[in-house]
Amino acid sequence: MKFNSLRYILRETFHSIRRNPWLSVASVLTIMVSLVILGFSIFFMVNADNMATTFESELEIAVFTDKSVTPQQLGTLKLDIERMPQVSSVTIVSKEQALVEFGKTMKSSGNNLLDDLGGINPFPDRLTVKAADPQVVKDIAMRIQGFSGVENVVYGKDFIDKLLPFTRWLRWVGIGVIVAFAIASIVLISINIKMNIFSRRREIQIMKLVGATNGFIRWPFFIEGMFLGLVGGLLASATVGVTYDWLSGYVQNTLAFLPVVQNPMLFWQVLSGLLVSGMAIGAIGTAISLRQFLKI
């Protein structure tokens, strides 16, 4: 492209913004609001997923052994379980540890049951097994039940049966929310761009009639769309960033049991993603909307 044309295009872009300031403000606000909603829904989704993962990772299987099992046999049992696929970790909780833990719990509730036992340890050795995937907990528990030296296997059967559908639901809702808002923001932004271009269709028609090529007509609109998208994206990521930062701090301080994602890397990725999508939506939306007006 000739240098003169480039200069013309840049000048034309900013002339147009200056002469239609309200249209430009409306475009920026539309892009901003859409992206803010999108940004929040992404963080909602991330947190929903994180919450589901946290709940799931707390699932464990308690394997109680026979009283007759020697420490050596216990070690072998541990290795056998570890060798099973889908098992992520196995820890031994010896009867002594179990007793100490039990004592702690009792003391904190002011109970002297431990002293009443008078030195007898009623606990068996125990293994705590964690599965790599919550879906297979049931399966693993059943298979461990068949191992020799195992007296009883306990896992939160009812809890798993309720939790898994719930976390699945939570993830789908999160994805649904993102998809819905992404579509809504693209529609909103393209309607706005179309209005912007429609208000200048005469200008485009005249440009065509004096012999401007489509590329020449497209560029100023394109750069304008990109610029307004960038400004909208910038405002959106600032809004989302500041609000999320504040909100996540607040939730963590007041509702500590709710796991809130505070991952700086992810945080900046989402914010720069909003920025880039603002710019991309502005540019692509303009290019698509322009097509029908260029057919003269």
Partner 1 sequence: MIQLSNVSKIYPNGARALSDINLKIGKGEFVFLVGPSGAGKSTLIRLLYREEKPTRGQVLVNNRNLVRMREHEVPYLRRGIGVIFQDFKLLPNKTVEENTAFALEVLGMSTREVQTRSRAALELVGLGGKGKSFPHQLSGGEQQRACVARAIINSPGLLVADEPTGNLDPENAWGIMDLLYNINKRGTTVIMATHAKDIVDQMQKRVVAIEGGRLVRDEEKGAYGYEV
Closer to partner 1 by Cβ: residue 2 or 83? 2
145 makes contact with partner 1 (CB under 8 A): no
Site for partner 1 in 175-204 (CB under 8 A): 202-203
23 makes contact with partner 1 (CB under 8 A): no
How many other C-beta atoms can be found within 10 angstroms of the C-beta atom of residue 14? 13
Beta bridge partners of 130: 89
292 makes contact with partner 1 (CB under 8 A): no
Total binding residues toward partner 1, as defined by CB under 8 A: 22
For the chain, how big is the Rg over CA atoms in Å?
31
Tokens of 50: 């994180």
List the one residue from 173, 206, 247, 255 that touches partner 1 (CB under 8 A): 206
C-alpha to C-alpha distance for 171 and 50, rounded to whole angstroms: 9
Amino acid at 30: T
**Least distance in angstroms from the C-beta of 212 to partner 1:** 4
The stretch among 2-10, 90-98, 157-165, 262-270 that binds partner 1 (CB under 8 A) is 2-10
Q: Could you tell me how far CA 101 lies from the centroid of its own chain?
A: 36
**Least distance in angstroms from the C-beta of 205 to partner 1:** 8
Closer to partner 1 by Cβ: residue 8 or 55? 8
Amino acid at 258: L
209 makes contact with partner 1 (CB under 8 A): yes
Closer to partner 1 by Cβ: residue 154 or 296? 296
296 makes contact with partner 1 (CB under 8 A): yes
19 makes contact with partner 1 (CB under 8 A): yes
List the one residue from 216, 238, 248, 287 that touches partner 1 (CB under 8 A): 216
C-alpha to C-alpha distance for 119 and 112, rounded to whole angstroms: 13
Contact predicate 273/182, CB 8 Å: no
The stretch among 41-49, 145-153, 205-213, 237-245 that binds partner 1 (CB under 8 A) is 205-213
The stretch among 160-168, 209-217, 223-231, 275-283 that binds partner 1 (CB under 8 A) is 209-217
Contact predicate 59/145, CB 8 Å: no
**Least distance in angstroms from the C-beta of 198 to partner 1:** 15
C-alpha to C-alpha distance for 265 and 271, rounded to whole angstroms: 10
Distances (CA, A) of 278 to 30, 99, 187, 230: 10, 60, 13, 5
C-alpha to C-alpha distance for 286 and 289, rounded to whole angstroms: 5
22 makes contact with partner 1 (CB under 8 A): no
SS3 breakdown of the chain: % helix, strand, coil, rounded to 5?
75, 10, 20
Residues within the interface to partner 1 (CB under 8 A) = 1-2, 4-5, 7-8, 19-20, 202-203, 205-214, 216, 296
